[in-house]
Amino acid sequence: MSTNDHIDGLLDNNQRWATETEERSPGFFSRLLKQQTPQYLWIGCADSRVPANELVGLLPGELFVHRNVANVVVHSDLNCLSVMQFAVDQLKVQHIIIVGHSNCGGVRAALQDLRVGLVDNWLRHVQDVRNHHQDWLDQLPEEQRVNALCELNVLEQARNACQTTVVQDAWSRGQSVAVHGWVYGLHNGLLKDLSVTAAGPDDVGPAYRRALEALQRRYEAAMGR
């Protein structure tokens, strides 16, 4: 089979999907054409094993999505900030969910100082998270460290999202928007809430500290301490 046959297969799949979707819900696409009214913004990893809509059972039009390597939210990333601003200011999403996943290749590269290429510069942000928690991470068995850093990274990126001008301005206008941090288990297909939810500026520090303590206790308990 040539490469073209493979790529044509995708277009065939798409035709079937469009037909089936329209049959299941007549008028589906013409309704979506008029507007999108998603309640949620998903900021997740680009990893192909973490398909946002599928994991949470949402249809086209129901989830606004931004993905990058290792689900990073940084204040200098105009791409992510633009998505956040459109989602919050125009679409009025109620929830921003930062979603990491276990065994993230980006997080592993950051943890182990692996040189991959251009992405090393991007992963400096995750290395900052690692460095911040280095002493604690060093106590863990080596095989636990990647997943622990995946979760720590979610907490840090959720806190970053809270501190963006987009979210801060929404909160100061009295707009209802909550930031959440979840982690997806590649091994079992399940999402876990890391309970770092913040719905206003006063929530951010306490939610982060509680979630960090809970995360650390969970890993320490698994070590039998």
CB nearer Zn ion, residue 146 or residue 204: 146
* Cβ proximity of 188 and 70 under 8 Å: no
Q: Which of 45, 72, 162, 166 binds Zn ion (CB under 5 A)?
A: 45
**Residue 38 or 106 having the CB closest to Zn ion:** 106
DSSP strand pairing (63-68 vs 40-45):
parallel
- According to DSSP, the residues that pair with 181 across neighbouring strands are 98
CB of 181 to Zn ion, least distance (A): 15
> How far is C-alpha 81 from the geometric centre of its chain's CA atoms?
14
Residue 168's identity, in one-letter code, is Q
- 104 given a catalytic annotation: yes
Positions in 84-113 near Zn ion (CB under 5 A) = 104, 106
Positions 182 through 221 that interact with Zn ion (CB under 5 A): none
Contact between 156 and 110 under an 8 Å Cβ cutoff? The reply is: no
Q: Does 63 bind Zn ion (CB under 5 A)?
A: no
Please tell me which residue in 66, 77, 80, 101 is annotated as part of the active site: 101
For position 156 contacting Zn ion by CB under 5 A, the verdict is no
Question: Is 47 near Zn ion (CB under 5 A)?
Answer: yes
Write phi, then psi, for 115 (nearest 5 degrees). -95, 120
Question: Rounded to the nearest whole angstrom, what is the least distance from the CB of residue 105 to Zn ion in the complex?
Answer: 6
From the list 8, 16, 31, 49, the catalytic residue is 49
Close Cβ partners of 106 (under 8 Å, ≥ 6 residues apart): 45, 69, 70, 119, 122, 123, 126
Contact 63, 52 (CB under 8 A): yes
Residues at the site binding Zn ion, with contacts judged by CB under 5 A = 45, 47, 104, 106
**Residues tagged in the binding site annotation for Zn(2+):** 45, 47, 101, 104
Catalytic residue numbers read 45, 47, 49, 101, 104
